[in-house]
Structure 1
Amino acid sequence: MHCKFSEGQTGDREGVSLNGVALSQSNHFKYLGSVLQVDGGCEEDVSHRIKAGWLKWRRATGVLCDRKIPNKLKGKFYRTAIRSAMLYGSECWALKESYASKIRVAEMRMLRWMSGHTRLDKVRNESIREKVGVVPIEDKLREGRLRWFGHVKRRHTEAPVRQVEHIRLEDRKKKRGRPKLTWRRVVQHDLEALHIYEDLTQNRSEWKKRIHIADPKFLG
């Protein structure tokens, strides 16, 4: 995969071969459980994590869909085994609303089946979440991003700087349309939503307290 970091790059490069076999160029590939895209997006990775969550779900339907098992246990199992699989590597996603909606829809389908309800029952999503003790997955996505952001801000001054967004000279020119969504801009929106500032990252205990999203108490 060839990442084009500058508009001035032509993209024409000699092919890569291994033991005399030419490797074909790809727009995305999997690395350490995450899907990397040539444009730096996260759409492929989001779809991959949703599939991973459903795979975990299918393996545990005997527990999650059993009406004899308490909702408290089902919710705990979901948070531990399924939600964690769906959120793997999400700390670095520059997540668009359309991608977040896909994850939210997948989670609600799982929670409704866990609680024994369908959309025809007209039970509110909030009621189902309280019943199984699970907060909206977008809140946990935000918590993960801010937790990682805190680690980056507290890194040692001599530590290598890991760029989470690339600013090119060509990008400084005014272009038509909405600017490309970056991870840094998503984090800025998260900070504004929680009414906190970057300086708070140096106070680790307070930062952890402010960004943590606790799951609701169970209704039984």
Structure 2
Amino acid sequence: MFKLYKALVKSVLTYNCGTWAPTQSQEERLNAFHRKQLKKVLNIKYPVKITNSSLYNKCNERPLSIFILESRWRLFGHILRRDSQILANQAMSGYFVTEGSKFKGRPLTTLPVVLNRDLSRIINSNLQLKSSHDLEHLRSIAQQRDEWTKLTARIREAAEASQSEH
């Protein structure tokens, strides 16, 4: 049953998720939907209670937000290793060229904002993504696949630790 869920539901739900820039509340809603589906697969109904961690362990799954985070960083590393003339690299570089705020009100939740939020979760790290200089530094790290994999693992572990606190 889990194989069917992963093949038919999770794959469609997370299609192209590396390009998403979800807010914190959107991530929580996605995680809640994922848990609800896992409970349906296990046939766990209302009066029975199960903790989120035991549900994930029983199903050998993780929160959907962690899966999305890994996909986002895997895609970002792939883009950074590509030629700087591809559209995705030009868009990332162009994001940091513009000066000042573009709109009134609350800042938009863009992909660079979410990537910077992911980086800020790492304890004792000076990595950030707030300028073109930071982007070039991450680009140099991405050229070394093993270093990029280690960075992605540190980001995932920090995200898992922050989720277990909630």
On whether the aligned pair clears a TM of 0.5, the verdict is yes
SS at match of 2:38: helix
CA deviation profile, 1:136-164 (whole Å, cap 9, x unmatched): 00001111111111112112245453415
Report 1 or 2 for greater relative contact order, CA contacts < 8 Å, sequence distance ≥ 6: 2
Pick aligned residue for 2:145 from 172, 192, 204 = 204
User: How many pairs were matched up?
Assistant: 140
More helix per residue: 2
- 2:120 is matched with 192
1:89 is displaced (CA, Å) by: 1.5
- 1:111 is matched with 38
Would you say 1:143 and 2:70 are equivalent positions?
yes
**One-letter amino acid matched to 2:39:** R
Pick aligned residue for 1:123 from 26, 50, 61 = 50
| Contact preservation (8 Å) 1:104, 1:136 | yes
Overall identity of the aligned pairs, in %? 24
More strand per residue: 1
* Partner Cα distance (1:153, 1:162) in 2: 11
**One-letter amino acid matched to 1:204:** R
- 1:180 is matched with 108
| Contact preservation (8 Å) 1:146, 1:190 | no
* Partner Cα distance (2:90, 2:103) in 1: 27
- 1:8 is matched with none
RMSD: 2.9
SS at match of 2:37: helix
Pick aligned residue for 1:133 from 52, 60, 66 = 60
- 1:87 is matched with 14
* Partner Cα distance (1:187, 1:128) in 2: 28
* Partner Cα distance (1:187, 1:211) in 2: 11
Alignment of 1:1-220 (within 5 A): 64=1, 74=2, 76-160=3-87, 161-164=89-92, 166=95, 172-173=100-101, 177-194=105-122, 197=127, 198=138, 199-211=140-152
| Contact preservation (8 Å) 2:84, 2:90 | no
| Contact preservation (8 Å) 1:91, 1:148 | yes
| Contact preservation (8 Å) 2:18, 2:68 | yes
CA deviation profile, 1:100-148 (whole Å, cap 9, x unmatched): 2221121111111112213421211111110010000000111111111
Normalised TM-score (structure 2): 0.69
| Contact preservation (8 Å) 1:115, 1:128 | no
Normalised TM-score (structure 1): 0.54
**One-letter amino acid matched to 1:172:** G
